């Protein structure tokens, strides 16, 4: 039920761990050492062995890093975590607002006379180090490759993960891995590249139609792969992980010991395609001028789900939606003040487990009531577990990993009588979610071109939120999938088949949080009646079906079109989810989706 904190520093552990790291720095002649939240595969999620940032500082967010110098240790976090970090790190660490404050300028300010800063070349991408080196030019601050000093002082560091790999059935994958390899190999040929180095765990698993268990909540396996322009693959993965795979990989996939990667890279004939943003610095350096920088060849094909993957996602969301509605009905039936956050988390996970296709939850469930709801990525612990009190809201963000799809849904629920200011903000969040759901847009636009649509109702009231409007979602893969995003930073065009979240929010520190999230899939938009159709358009198909709490809606704020959308959506919820429910939950749902 609780997130695992075995490798996380408690506040009292922060100072001695920091002291030990500084002693190791001094022994190596370093003035600084960089500690990212990353592993050698450069994915978003890491195994317990690679939770170096959490072990050192106590910060458990999914993004951030620490720059340790002799007199200051900065923990760099973005807007999602600025409330969370205050509660997690000891006062020997200094939170730094990032990216507003860049690492390069900060190092120059903190080391005015220059200095040597060490980094583990497996834990930083080539692009990250190149950008940092450019920012430090002429400053006297230099970067130096080092072994990992955190590993040196972390005496009980967990072993590398050795999760079993299993075959992802063709009925869910929708395309044999031989066809995927041939398709991507043809892309390499067209671009004059001999091979591609693949480091991201979800790319590797998608390419070979396998799934793993090396990362909690994400069905991926650690490994590296080299895809050649003839469609063959060299896979660098411990053979012990593959004992259940049988002959699935076939003769065109050769398995090697992970330690053989470096020597093989040294022998590759160029050009070798590598993604500057994800290839470990050490591998890019070994390739030298043989490296051809380009995007991960799996990234966009993986993001554009095929019909089988979309059908699986839709089916998974219906079963998942039924579990969520059962939870909402149960929650409404409990006396106010009788539940704690952990009880809500436990009940929802129990309800999801009734589905035999469930493989696990897709991330640690967020159940934040009152002020906890304002912590965007809140994780309930025994210390923070709070009672659901009258007048509060609870943000419930959860998902499941099913054999046929990955889900992610957020609902904000009123406990008792909610405050009017919260209802007004909730309505603006809902308006933003509806606006994005209704959107039609010209093909070729990226997330950065359209994400403001979901923020506009909040902006008109002088409000906003510090996370992206939406992230990509995998097909029984990572719940956060790139490269597709609804974000100001995303330049990747949205294409048919891409699944994203639509999740505007609003957070008032110390008071309440609000987020509403549905998953949506991009598709070619049908022509409008009487339209001239001079440009191809896309629109969204909604995958998530669960009621939106109408007790929090200020109906007079909604336009007629917004009311029509909400009523139509709720009618679909009743139609699609109602037959899957217990009689009590069905009665509750009928009332919850009554037209407004």
Does 3 score more than 70 pLDDT? no
Does 2 score more than 60 pLDDT? no
- Amino acid 31: pLDDT: 97
Q: Decide which of 528 and 197 is more confident.
A: 197
**Tokens matching residue 149:** 């000093």
Does 332 score more than 70 pLDDT? yes
Predicted confidence (pLDDT) per residue in 374-429, tens digit: 999 898 988 899 999 999 999 999 999 999 999 999 999 999 999 999 999 999 99
**Tokens matching residue 543:** 């995958």
Rounded CA-CA distance 323/347 in Å is 10
C-alpha distances out from residue 576 to 317, 546, 580, Å: 10, 10, 8
Predicted confidence (pLDDT) per residue in 247-301, tens digit: 999 999 999 999 999 999 999 999 999 999 999 999 999 999 999 999 999 999 9
- Amino acid 532: pLDDT: 67
Does 366 score more than 80 pLDDT? yes
Rounded CA-CA distance 343/1 in Å is 9
Predicted confidence (pLDDT) per residue in 86-120, tens digit: 778 878 888 898 989 999 999 999 999 999 999 99
- Amino acid 63: pLDDT: 84
Helix axes 201-208, 177-190, angle to 10 degrees: 110
Residues 6+ apart with CB under 8 A from 261: 224, 236, 283
Rounded CA-CA distance 227/458 in Å is 46
Q: What CATH number labels 304-587?
A: 3.90.230.10
Helix (H) or strand (E) holding 236: strand 233-236
- Amino acid 533: pLDDT: 66
- Amino acid 115: pLDDT: 97
Region of residue 116 (phi > 0: left; psi between -120 and 50: alpha; otherwise: beta) = beta
Provide DSSP, 299-314.
HHHHHB--HHHHHHHH
Predicted confidence (pLDDT) per residue in 449-477, tens digit: 999 999 999 999 999 999 999 999 999 99
pLDDT cut 70: percent of the chain above it: 98
Q: Which residue has the tokens 């080391």?
A: 111
**Tokens matching residue 207:** 């390419």
pLDDT band at 5 (very low <50, low <70, confident <90, very high): very low
Rounded CA-CA distance 484/493 in Å is 8
The chain-wide mean pLDDT, for the chain, equals 95
Rounded CA-CA distance 123/105 in Å is 21
C-alpha distances out from residue 432 to 318, 463, 508, Å: 24, 12, 18
CATH topology of domain 14-153: Creatine Amidinohydrolase; Chain A, domain 1 (3.40.350)
Predicted confidence (pLDDT) per residue in 413-423, tens digit: 999 999 999 99
To the nearest 10°, the Cα dihedral for 451, 453, 458, 463? 30
Predicted confidence (pLDDT) per residue in 511-565, tens digit: 999 999 999 999 999 988 876 667 899 999 999 999 999 999 999 999 999 999 9
Exposed, middle or buried, 478 (CB in 10 Å: 0-12/13-18/19+)? buried
Strands 392-398 and 366-369, how do they pair?
A: antiparallel
- Amino acid 1: pLDDT: 27
Does 83 score more than 90 pLDDT? no
446 and 492 Cβ atoms separated by less than 8 Å: yes
- Amino acid 8: pLDDT: 83
Structural domain spans, the chain? 14-153, 166-302, 304-587
**Tokens matching residue 32:** 């600084």
515 and 374 Cβ atoms separated by less than 8 Å: no
Residue 290: DSSP 8-state: G
Does 347 score more than 90 pLDDT? yes
**Tokens matching residue 148:** 């990992």
Instruction: Please tell me if the domain spanning 166-302 has the same topology as the one spanning 304-587.
Output: no
CATH topology of domain 166-302: Creatine Amidinohydrolase; Chain A, domain 1 (3.40.350)
Helix (H) or strand (E) holding 250: none
H-type helices in 353-472, by residue range?
A: 420-438, 447-450, 456-459
With b for 16 or more beta-carbon neighbours within 10 A and e for fewer, the 504-536 pattern comes to bbbbeeeebbbbbbbbbbbeebeeeeeeeeeee
Does 21 score more than 90 pLDDT? yes
């Amino acid at each position: 039920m609780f997130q695992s904190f075995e490798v996380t520093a408690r506040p009292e552990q922060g100072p001695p761990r920091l002291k030990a790291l500084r002693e190791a720095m001094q022994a190596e002649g370093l003035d600084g050492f960089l500690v990212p939240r990353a592993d050698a595969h450069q994915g978003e999620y890491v195994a317990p062995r690679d939770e170096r940032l959490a072990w050192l500082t106590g910060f458990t967010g999914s993004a951030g890093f620490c720059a340790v110098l002799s007199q200051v240790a900065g923990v760099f976090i973005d807007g999602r975590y600025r409330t969370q970090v205050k509660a997690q790190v000891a006062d020997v660490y200094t939170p730094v607002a990032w990216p507003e404050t860049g690492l390069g300028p900060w190092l120059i300010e903190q080391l005015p006379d220059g200095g040597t800063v060490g980094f583990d070349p497996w834990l930083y991408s080539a692009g990250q180090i190149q950008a940092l080196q450019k920012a430090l030019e002429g400053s006297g601050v230099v970067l130096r490759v080092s072994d990992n000093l955190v590993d040196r002082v972390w005496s009980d560091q967990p072993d590398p993960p050795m999760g079993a790999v299993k075959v992802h059935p063709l009925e869910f994958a929708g395309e044999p891995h031989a066809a995927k390899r041939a398709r991507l190999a043809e892309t390499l040929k067209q671009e004059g590249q001999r091979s591609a180095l693949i480091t991201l765990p979800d790319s590797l698993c998608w390419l070979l139609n396998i799934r793993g268990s090396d990362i909690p909540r994400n069905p991926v396996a650690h490994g590296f792969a080299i895809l050649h322009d003839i469609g063959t693959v060299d896979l660098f993965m411990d053979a012990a992980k593959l004992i259940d795979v049988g002959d699935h990989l076939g003769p065109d996939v050769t398995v090697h010991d992970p330690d053989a990667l470096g020597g093989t890279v040294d022998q590759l004939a160029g050009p070798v395609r590598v993604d500057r943003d994800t290839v470990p610095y050490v591998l890019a350096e070994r390739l030298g001028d043989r490296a051809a920088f380009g995007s991960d060849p799996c990234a966009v094909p993986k993001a554009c789900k095929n019909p089988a993957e979309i059908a699986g996602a839709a089916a998974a969301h219906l079963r998942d939606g039924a579990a969520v509605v059962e939870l909402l009905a149960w929650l409404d039936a409990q006396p106010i003040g009788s539940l704690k956050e952990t009880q809500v988390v436990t009940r929802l996970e129990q309800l999801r487990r009734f589905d035999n296709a469930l493989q696990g939850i897709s991330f640690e469930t967020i159940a934040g009531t009152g002020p906890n709801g304002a912590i965007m990525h809140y994780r309930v612990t025994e210390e923070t577990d709070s009672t659901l009190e009258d007048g509060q809201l609870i943000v419930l963000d959860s998902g499941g990993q099913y054999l046929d799809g990955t889900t992610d849904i957020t609902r904000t629920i009123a406990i008792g009588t909610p405050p009017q200011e919260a209802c007004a903000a909730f309505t603006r969040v809902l308006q933003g979610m509806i606006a994005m759901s209704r959107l039609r847009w010209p093909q070729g636009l990226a997330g950065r071109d359209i994400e403001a649509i979901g923020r506009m109702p909040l902006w008109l009231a002088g409000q906003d939120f510090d996370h992206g409007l939406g992230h990509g979602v995998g097909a029984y893969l990572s719940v956060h999938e790139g490269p597709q995003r609804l974000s100001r930073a995303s330049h990747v065009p949205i294409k048919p088949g891409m699944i994203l979240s639509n999740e505007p929010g609003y957070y008032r520190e110390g008071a309440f949080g609000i987020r509403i999230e549905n998953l949506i899939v991009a598709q070619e938009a049908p022509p409008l009646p009487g339209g001239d159709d001079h440009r191809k358009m896309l629109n969204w198909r909604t995958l998530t079906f669960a009621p939106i709490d109408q007790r929090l809606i200020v109906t007079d704020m909604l336009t007629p079109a917004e009311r029509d959308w909400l009523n139509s959506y709720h009618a679909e919820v009743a139609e699609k989810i109602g037959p899957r429910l217990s009689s009590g939950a069905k009665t509750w749902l009928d009332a919850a989706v009554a037209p407004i």
